[in-house]
Amino acid sequence: MKPLSSARMRHWLGASAILVAAVATALPAQAGSVLDAINQRGKIKVGVGTSPGFFAPDSNGKWQGFFVDFGRALAVTVFNDAAKVDFTSSSPQQRLPALQAGEFDILLSGVTETITRAFKLGFHFGPVIFYDGQGLLVKKSLGVTKGADLDGATIAIQAGTTGELNIADFFRKSGKTFKSVVIEDSREFRNALDSGRVDALTQDSSDLAIQRTQLARPDDYVLLPERLSKEPLAPAIRWGDDRWLEIVNWTVYATIEAEELGITEANIDSFLDTSDPVVKRFLGIDKSLGEAIGLDPKFAYNIIKAVGNYGEIFERNVGKNTKIGFDRGLNQPWSSGGLLYSPPFR
Amino acid sequence: MQCALLVVIVLAVQYLGSNLAANMKLVGITPGFGFLNHAANFQIGESVIPYQAGDSYGRAILVGLLNTVKVAVAGCILATIVGVALGVARLSTNPLLAWHVQAFVEVVRNTPLLLQLFFWNAVLHGLPGPRQALSPVAGVLLSNRGVFVPGIETDSPVIAGVVLVFALAAVVFLAQGRRIGLAASVAGLLGAGAWGLAHGATVALELPRLRGFNIAGGLTLSPEFAALLIGLVVNTSASIAETVRGGIVSVSAGQWEAGAALGLKRLQILRLIVLPQALRVIIPVMTSSFLTLTKNSSLAVAIGYPELVSVLNTTANTTGQALETIFIMMVVYLTLSLTVSVFMNAYNRRWKLRENAR
């Protein structure tokens, strides 16, 4: 073998460096479970969106919102510390690949649970935390009352959402036509309606209600009562870590169960001397359940102490007394006519 | 030594490939391009070829590709015209003109393209709605739904195509100053048109007018397309202007003086002596400007023009075949870039040969 000249040596070193870098970056995807990674890091990485009420930083830069509170509840379950969680916003387009690539441990960004996402993207979904439906936001002066009136209209859709498919299905079914403008950027999406570029925006109706409050003259616009689709928004995680999935499931169930039992952030300590065995097991006064499942026996107690029950999370962030002002609708316990239902804690 | 390197690289590629396959299997993704034949249940805002929700993903991607090509070709041509004019104006002896062009070039080159696209989009969205559309010239409507111009409707597209080819040829011959070619193509144009009319082809002028929610009829430029085109042309023309200026400056002052000594006017010197020499320097740099413009067209996803990346993103999102769509994206942009390079290199060789022959 000829001795290497210094120039060739440099090439050789360069190639090796690239190779090592490539292999090294390829490795983490294979290593360990999600939960191991979370424990090692000491923090949960949560992907969220950017809609005030659901997820947005407040004036102090602290994330606030309905979905954010569920992220905090998860941190309580895993670390017993609501602060051990990092929120990062991701556009609807980028969030799914980001979850696949391991950038997040969980998406709490209002992802619609669908069979394609389950099988083809390889996602598990936790319990639905918000039952939504796709709606249409239109200018009042158009005099439109239902989706079918929008024949021939131009409609903006946000890229990367199930809305793109739903609206096409809706118009095909009714034999009507529309022109689509697919926009990735949230602000440009809203501006398209504000400037009159499009006749309507379509998106999950909860999101549209929030977008409406951000328009220059919200009262000029109306969210049509019609719902084009079912949009069950659920936490999404990658396949491959069953225990992480169960932690997500039972963290959400704990908030629902607490509401059903009438336990709130304020009155929870009055339940500590209860004789009800269901409540005793739920709050970890009876420690046998927690020991059996390998979680802190008081995890449900800690969650309610930190963020409150489902109803409190809802009312605080998006409920009647907030700027957003949502009705509970389907999002109340089954016992009051909603769809929230927690399996038993036993 | 080189063999060892090759072996290492092959092993590394194999390792990365198997790692990828294993990870994809782990999350339950089956690789492959079978999805291209599946129905794409989404709508695309504008298309060169007929498309509707329910057509195949392959066709949807083709629609996106054609939209990219449309904006890239129009962008390259316009950017060249504007850029060369600006580059020459930048060297003008009129200081007011030169300074204005310099200010324009500095502003455009020192702000991000994405910001410029948002700006042009906002400008076009700021136009009045379809019911109050501006009409600067009869038949042309400007609104926030797009720019509408009268279109020519014909029931024989083949003859229309032939007429169009002759018209293009006439423009080229006119530009090159070849009178015989010009006369021949004008004769062909008139002949084909007359033959078509004699055989019952109908030609009608279609004017845009308000229908339902929108303006229909005639030719439409959507605001997103217009914003993207203006953004790309303005951005690229600034760098082409600098390239042209640099090319002209690179021709030695002696050439100008020699031209002046022969009694040529300034514009004649520029056209006959300086530009042909400057082109040798300009063309290779221009090639990279064209490539940049083509690739920058993918920024359109932010403002909602349905080009290749936008359609592929939706495809990846609805099918889960992210890797395949990224692969398609890479192949397409590589092919587009290589095609532009091949054309520009051929053009470059032409100018080089002339130089050697001298």
Cα B228 to Cα B51, B63, B279: the distances in Å are 22, 17, 28
Cβ of B313 under 8 Å from any chain A Cβ?
Answer: yes
Burial of B177 (0-12, 13-18, 19+ CB in 10 A): exposed
Instruction: Please report the domains of chain A, with CATH numbers, ordered by start residue.
Output: 34-131 (3.40.190.10), 134-229 (3.40.190.10)
Q: Is the per-residue pLDDT at A17 higher than 60?
A: no
Q: Which residue in this structure is represented by tokens 């794409």? A: B40
Residue among A19, A172, A180 whose CB faces B8 most closely: A19
Lowest mean pLDDT of A167-181, A255-269, B214-228, name the range: B214-228
Q: Find the CB nearest A26 among B19, B144, B319.
A: B19
Say if the Cβ atoms of B45 and A182 lie within 8 Å: yes
Best mean pLDDT range from A46-55, A171-180, B170-179: A46-55
Residue A166 tokens read as: 């739903």
Question: Which pLDDT score, from 0 to 100, does residue A19 have?
Answer: 43
What lies within 8 Å, CB to CB, of A346 at 6+ separation is A278, A281, A289
Interface contact flag, B304 A182, Cβ < 8 Å: yes
Which residue type does B161 have? G
Q: How far apart are CA A297 and CA A337, in angstroms?
A: 31
- Residue B135's contacts (CB-CB under 8 Å, 6 or more residues apart) are B141, B142
Locus of tokens 């359109």: B300
Taking the Cβ of residue B80 and every Cβ of chain A, the question of whether any pair is shorter than 8 Å is answered with no
Q: Do A22 and B16 touch (CB under 8 A)?
A: yes
Contacts of A14 in chain B (CB under 8 A): none
Shortest alpha-carbon distance between residue A205 and chain B (Å): 19
B15 touches chain A (CB under 8 A): yes
Look at residue B129 in the predicted model and tell me its pLDDT: 79
Q: Work out how many CB contacts closer than 8 A connect A with B.
A: 146
Distance from CA of A153 to the nearest CA of B (A): 6
pLDDT at B353: 56
Is the CB of B213 less than 8 angstroms away from the CB of A181? no
Of B5, B20, B303, the CB nearest to A15: B5
Which of B12, B42, B53 is the closest to A22 by Cβ? B12
Minimal Cβ distance to A30: which of B23, B212, B224: B23
Evaluate if residue A286 carries a pLDDT over 80.
yes
Query: Which residues on B lie below 8 Å from A1 (Cβ)?
Result: 1
Q: Which domains, ranges and CATH numbers included, belong to chain B?
A: 57-131+221-357 (1.10.3720.10)
Whether B144 and A240 lie within 8 Å, measured CB to CB: no
Q: Please check whether residue B88 is in contact with residue B248, taking contact to mean a CB–CB distance below 8 angstroms.
A: yes
Question: Contact A29/B19, CB-based, under 8 Å?
Answer: yes
Pairing of strands A106-112, A44-48: parallel
CA B3-B5-B8 angle, to 5 degrees, is 110
Half-sphere exposure of A244 (CA within 13 A, CB side): 24
Residue A309: both structure tokens together:
């029950």
Query: Among A1, A120, A179, whose Cβ lies nearest the Cβ of B320?
Result: A120
Contacts of B226 by beta carbon, 8 Å cutoff, 6+ apart? B120, B124, B146, B147
Contact B91, B245 (CB under 8 A): yes
ipTM exceeds 0.85? no
Q: What are phi and psi of B49, to 5 degrees?
A: -105, 160
The yes-or-no verdict on residue A29 having pLDDT over 60 is no
The per-residue pLDDT for range A61-89, each reduced to its tens digit, is: 999 999 999 999 999 999 999 999 999 99
Contacts of B44 in chain A (CB under 8 A): 180, 182
CB within 8 Å: B318 and A164: yes
| A111 to chain B, closest Cα gap in Å | 12
Residue B100: C-alpha distances to residues B86, B89, B91, B243, B292 (Å): 10, 9, 11, 17, 25
Residue B348 near chain A (CB below 8 Å): no
- Using a CB-CB cut-off of 8 Å, the residues of chain B touching A186 are none
- How high is the pLDDT of residue B28? 62
| Sequence-distant (≥ 6) Cβ neighbours of residue B204 within 8 angstroms | B152, B153, B154
Q: Is A241 helix (H, G, I), strand (E, B) or coil?
A: coil
Which of B43, B148, B325 has the highest number of chain A CBs within 10 A, making it the mutation to test binding with A? B43
Q: Is B115 on the interface with A (CB under 8 A)?
A: no
d(CA B303, CA A188): 7
Which residues fall within 8 angstroms of residue A294, CB to CB, at 6 or more apart? none
Per-residue pLDDT for A40 more than 90? yes
Q: What are phi and psi of A74, to 5 degrees?
A: -65, -45
From chain A, the residues in CB contact with B214 under 8 A are: 152-154, 179
Contacts of B9 in chain A (CB under 8 A): 15, 19
Let me know: does A335 contact A342? Beta carbons within 8 Å: no
Cα(B200)–Cα(B286) distance, integer angstroms: 46
- Between chains, do A12 and B1 touch, taking CB under 8 Å as contact? yes
Q: Which residues of chain B register pLDDT less than 70?
A: 26-29, 152-157, 201-202, 211-214, 217-218, 353-358
**CB nearest A159 (choices: B1, B223, B314):** B314
Taking Cα atoms as reference points, which of A96, A117, A35, A76 lies closest to residue A252?
Answer: A76
Q: Dig out the tokens for B194 from the structure.
A: 């007359």
> Which residues does chain B have within 8 Å of residue A29's beta carbon, measured at their own beta carbons?
19, 23
State the residue for tokens 């021709």. B251
pTM (2 d.p.): 0.75
Mean pLDDT score across all residues of chain A:
87
pLDDT digit string, tens, across residues A291-304? 888 889 999 999 99
pLDDT at A10 (0 to 100): 45
List CB contacts of B331: < 8 A, sequence separation 6 or more: none
Q: How close B236 comes to chain A (CA, Å)?
A: 24
Q: Does B178 touch chain A (CB under 8 A)?
A: no
Q: B1–A29: do the CB atoms touch at under 8 Å? A: no
B213, B225, B305: best to mutate for the A interface, most A CBs within 10 A: B213
Task: Supply φ then ψ for residue B142, to 5 degrees.
Answer: -110, 120
Question: Is there a contact between B22 and A164 if contact means CB atoms under 8 Å apart?
Answer: no
What are the tens digits of pLDDT across the range A94-142?
A: 898 899 889 999 999 999 999 988 988 889 999 999 999 999 999 888 8
Measured in whole angstroms, the distance separating CA A60 from the mean position of its chain's CA atoms is 22
Tell me, yes or no, if B325 comes closer than 8 A to chain A by beta carbon.
no
How close, in Å, is residue B319 to chain A by CA atoms?
A: 7
- Nearest-Cα distance to chain A for B75, in Å, is 21
Distance of residue B201 Cα from the nearest chain A Cα, in angstroms: 31
Which residues of chain B neighbour A182 with C-beta distances below 8 Å?
44-45, 304, 306, 310, 314
**B114 reaches A (C-beta below 8 A):** no
The interaxial angle of helices B275-296 and B57-90, nearest 10 deg, is 140
Out of A4, A164, A184, closest to residue B42 by CB: A164
Q: What is the pLDDT of residue B356?
A: 52
